[in-house]
Structure 1
Amino acid sequence: MDASILLVGGDDFLATLLVRIRNLVSCTVEVAPSPNEAMPLIQAQQPDLVILQGNQTVSLELCRQIKEQTRLAWIYCLLLDLPTSKLAEAWQDDFWIMKCRAEALENGADAYLWLPQSDANGAALPKDTVMQQDRLLSAQIASGLRMVKNHRELMRTNDILSAIALSDPLTELNNRRALDWELPRQVQNSRSRSEQMSVLMLDVDYFKNINDTYGHPIGDRALQLISGRLRHNLRFRDTLFRYGGEEFVILLSGTDAQEALLVGRRLCRLIGDQPFAVNDDLNLEMTISAGVASLNDSDDSKGASLLQRADQNLLRAKAAGRNRVIGGQEGLKDKG
């Protein structure tokens, strides 16, 4: 079984349980002699299941710590008591066992087991009783590992669905929904670090003519080729999105207005200077227009006003003859 278990408790608890666990399940098993030493291991390795010595107050605290952290809360926590003698009447009292179970569950444990190692007189338990205890322990571990496996599969599915939801199926670029999530984050990062950032909005010139002349399949292929050329000619810190139709947005972190203008100019040249081989029989010459805007103090935290200025400058670039970049609130022009 491809799973990991961490045992946490005193020396006697670990010595008894370690052999028992390894005989019951095929997992990677590690030990931590105290909750204080266990937490760094849990944070670093994130075991599937943690088994803690139940009669320790610090075990309850460790359960709480695990469950309070979102990235660790899925770990299955089992509190286990292995009393070896009749320490008090309470050890054999059903009320006491229920009290221990309630405290364990209230503090975040997923399950609690009481498995005495001797009878009320301190004598060894019958073989059948030990076998049933092992069966119960094995079943509880298997149940916990199933829950963890289901959680991991659900998280993988969610990751895939999130990637699909944030990806444009035609170009495989980030889509507009992804932009709505990423733009506010970059605005916040830019301001917290006192760095510049800019937005570049691009539009394929006369793209409707391509669809009208050659059909939508050719238009789709043209968008794929343009997307690929843009993606492979961006800097590491730039983030490309398909905004919709034949429009694209690029977030330029750590980039001021003049540098953004240079980036837009370079991309216009890269698109316009070399035709696109759509198929064996058709090479299309295409150009793009671009609008640039840079973040300023008056922009809102979501970046909506920043994006709007880039869009306005894109409209100016198209109105001025296309195949060019316009940046800045004052409408600075620069031919591609």
Structure 2
Amino acid sequence: MVDPLAEVVALLRPQAPFSKLVVASAPWAVRRSETGRPFYFVVLEGQCHLTVDGPTHSDTITLNAGDFALVPAARSFATSSLDRKPPREGDTVTTPIAPMPGGARVGDPNGPVDVRMLVGNCVFGSADATLLVSLLPQWLHVRGEQRLSTLVQLVGDESRADRPVRDIVMARLLKVLLIEAFRSSASTAASPGLVRALADTKLAQALRCMHERPAHAWTVLELAREAGMSRSAFFERFSRAVGVAPMEYLLAWRMALARRMLRQRELAISAIAEQLGYSSVSTFGVAFTRHVGMPPGRYSRNDTEGMGMNKSKNGIKGKTDAAQAPA
């Protein structure tokens, strides 16, 4: 049976080579702006607030020891001690931050430590990262998972030790932690995305169908029948859970597969078009160009994945009433 999340994670190729230890003393607050990079937090000791800014609103969650949080495409976020509100965009933040070996000391350098956490940037090695991240929730927060807690303990132990090949071991542990977070958060993801939809057995069945047979000429009605739902109920439930309409998701997945096939250069464009369910090379070319920002032939001639990523558009554009739009 095809596992949609496994396929997306495999295409993303997540890595976590960069991390720093943050040690803080209350009261403290930090706000930073990003450029869409993936960011993660591993809380080793204590508690803190995390506020993630979204396109329309901000979400604030409390992180406890053993928790893991991931923001697949951070734009701006804030962290703070529990005794103060996280600063909003535009607020002046005066908390002192001092560098220390392997990280930073936040707040009063002589005060008692109330939180220790690892903070860092992930790296998604795929040229499809922008497109695929749009299939993930705005943020992931995992708590109370024994397997993940064990990984957090291992990461914390490794971060405090001065062992040989420490950086390599940390990178491997953090990569496993990322994958485990994707898997563990399926039932707890609060924001729309693939992870949240997979926790719904009816939607998961429809998603598996799309991933098992991407070339099939799926319609919303046919997918609704696979899910055992009415067309209207399925469309609304899918759009709310994933954040985009069913046909938009199918198009995004087909384009991710197309880009991988084009980079591999093992198939002719006509064969790729056929494998993805397009009736002709021209039909495929129009869909690919509209979604990726360049014709498939030019994309396949790019020498590096980075060129393809930089020239591509920002994945799925958002929820639209595309129930009958061709994918």
Question: Under TM normalisation by the shorter chain, which class is it?
Answer: under 0.3
Higher relative contact order (CA 8 A, sep 6+): 2
TM-score, structure 2 as length reference: 0.19
Higher helix fraction (1 or 2): 1
Larger Rg: 1
